A and B are shown apart, each in its own frame.
Chain A
Amino acid sequence: EPEVTQTPSHQVTQMGQEVILRCVPISNHLYFYWYRQILGQKVEFLVSFYNNEISEKSEIFDDQFSVERPDGSNFTLKIRSTKLEDSAMYFCASSEGRTQYFGPGTRLLVL
Chain B
Amino acid sequence: AQSVTQLGSHVSVSEGALVLLRCNYSSSVPPYLFWYVQYPNQGLQLLLKYTSAATLVKGINGFEAEFKKSETSFHLTKPSAHMSDAAEYFCAVSGNQAGTALIFGKGTTLSVSS
B56 at interface, CB cutoff 8 A: no
| Residues 75-114 of chain B, each 1 if its beta carbon lies under 8 Å from chain A, else 0 | 0000000000000001010110111111111110000000
B34 adjacent to A56 (CB under 8 Å): no
Across the interface, which residues of B come within 8 angstroms of A58, CB to CB? Answer: 101
Are the CB atoms of B43 and A42 closer together than 8 Å?
no
Stretch touching chain A among B10-18, B19-27, B45-53, B62-70: B45-53
Partner of A98, one of B36, B42, B94, B105: B94
> A45 and B102: CB pair below 8 A?
yes
Contact B90 A102 (CB under 8 A): no
Number of A-B contacts (CB under 8 A): 67
Candidate in B49, B99, B102 with the most chain A CB atoms within 10 angstroms:
B99
* B contact residues around A43 at 8 Å (CB): 44, 90, 92, 102, 104, 107
A interface, size bucket: 20 to 34
Smallest CB separation, B102 vs chain A (Å):
6
Q: Mark A8-44, 1 if CB is under 8 A from B, else 0.
A: 0000000000000000000000110101000001111
Min CB distance, A6 to chain B, in Å?
A: 8
Task: Pick from A31, A41, A43, A44 the residue with the most CB of B within 10 Å.
Answer: A43
Cβ-based interface call for A66 (8 A): no
Residue of B nearest to A32 (CB): B99
- Cβ B104 vs Cβ A98 within 8 A: no
Complex partner residue of A99 from B34, B42, B45, B95, CB under 8 angstroms: B34
- Given that A42-B90, A98-B94 are known contacts, is A104 also in contact with B42, CB under 8 Å in the complex? yes
- B99 & A44 in contact (Cβ 8 Å cutoff): no
Residues on B facing A (Cβ under 8 Å) = 32, 34, 36, 42-46, 49, 51, 90, 92, 94-95, 97-107
Given contacts A48-B101, A105-B43, 17 further A-B contacts (CB under 8 A): A42-B90, A42-B105, A43-B90, A43-B102, A44-B104, A45-B102, A55-B99, A58-B101, A98-B95, A98-B98, A99-B32, A99-B49, A100-B94, A101-B46, A102-B46, A103-B43, A104-B42
